[in-house]
Chains A and B, each alone.
Chain A
Amino acid sequence: AQTVTQSQPEMSVQEAETVTLSCTYDTSESDYYLFWYKQPPSRQMILVIRQEAYKQQNATENRFSVNFQKAAKSFSLKISDSQLGDAAMYFCAYIIPQGGSEKLVFGKGTKLTVNP
C-alpha cells in the first residue's frame, strides 16, 4: 500500500525560529512528485512546495525548503524565520503520475503552532 507518514501530530515554534516537519513515504515507484500543503483554519489548502523525485537538488521557496532523501524515502519541510501566519496544518503528499490517475496521497498532517 502506498502511504505517507507524518510522525509529529503537533509541533510548536517560536516566532523567527526554525522548525522542521517530518515526512516519510512508501512507494515502489521511481518516478513521483512530493508536495507540502498548508491548511490554515480557513480550510483552504495551499501548495507550499513541490519536489520531483528525479531531482537530487532540494527545492526551496523563500523561507520554505525541503530535505529530500530518496533512498530513505524521507521528505522533511524546514520553515525558517517562522511567522505567525505560518500557523496551520501541514500535509505531506505525493503523486505517482502513471496510468489514468494522479491522485494525491496525503499524510495525516502536522499541526504547527507559532508562538509570539
Chain B
Amino acid sequence: GAGVSQSPSNKVTEKGKDVELRCDPISGHTALYWYRQSLGQGLEFLIYFQGNSAPDKSGLPSDRFSAERTGGSVSTLTIQRTQQEDSAVYLCASSSYRGTGIGQYFGPGTRLTVT
C-alpha cells in the first residue's frame, strides 16, 4: 500500500462499550507501533510489534487495552469497557528496519470519543 491506513477515522462510543481500532501498515514493514495522543498527556507509546518477537506492551495503560497483529501485517487495538479518559487520537505507525532509526511512518489516526 501507499501508506499506513487506519479505520475507522472517527469512532464515537458509549462508556462501557468495547471498541476495535484497525491498522494496516505499509506493505513489507516488519515493525508496527501504536501511540495515543491526548490533550493532557501528549503522545504516548502503547505497544510495539516486531516480526515474530514478543510485543512490547509496556505502554498499555491498563488491562482493558490489548492489541494483536495477525500474519505479521494488520493490527487491531481493542479497548474493553471504554472510559471517558480513553478519548484520544490513536495513531499507528510502521517501519521497515530494526535498529537503524530509519523513522516510523504514521497513519492518519482514529479519533475515539467516549460519551
Q: Which residues of B contact A91 (CB under 8 A)?
A: 43
- Chain B residues within 8 Å of chain A by Cβ, number: 30
Residues of chain B having any CB pair with chain A under 8 Å: 31, 33, 35, 42-43, 45, 48, 50, 53-54, 56, 58-59, 89, 91, 93, 95, 98-109, 111
Is the Cβ of B45 less than 8 Å from the Cβ of A50?
no
Residues of chain A having any CB pair with chain B under 8 Å: 32-33, 35, 37, 42-47, 50, 52, 91, 93, 95, 97, 100-109
Is the Cβ of A103 less than 8 Å from the Cβ of B48?
yes
Complex CA gap A95/B16 in Å reads 35
Complex CA gap A106/B38 in Å reads 13
Is the Cβ of B50 less than 8 Å from the Cβ of A100?
yes
Complex CA gap A88/B103 in Å reads 19
Complex CA gap A106/B56 in Å reads 18
Among B31, B101, B109, contact of A43 (Cβ-Cβ < 8 Å): B109
- How many cross-chain pairs have Cβ atoms below 8 Å apart between A and B? 65
B60 → A minimal CB distance (Å):
12
CB-based nearest A residue for B98? A102
Is the Cβ of B54 less than 8 Å from the Cβ of A100?
yes
Among A47, A50, A104, A108, contact of B35 (Cβ-Cβ < 8 Å): A104
CB-based nearest A residue for B50? A100
Is the Cβ of B101 less than 8 Å from the Cβ of A52?
yes
Q: Which residues of A contact B45 (CB under 8 A)?
A: 103-105
Complex CA gap A77/B48 in Å reads 27
Q: Which residues of A contact B105 (CB under 8 A)?
A: 47
Complex CA gap A45/B106 in Å reads 6
Complex CA gap A14/B42 in Å reads 27
Is the Cβ of B108 less than 8 Å from the Cβ of A42?
yes
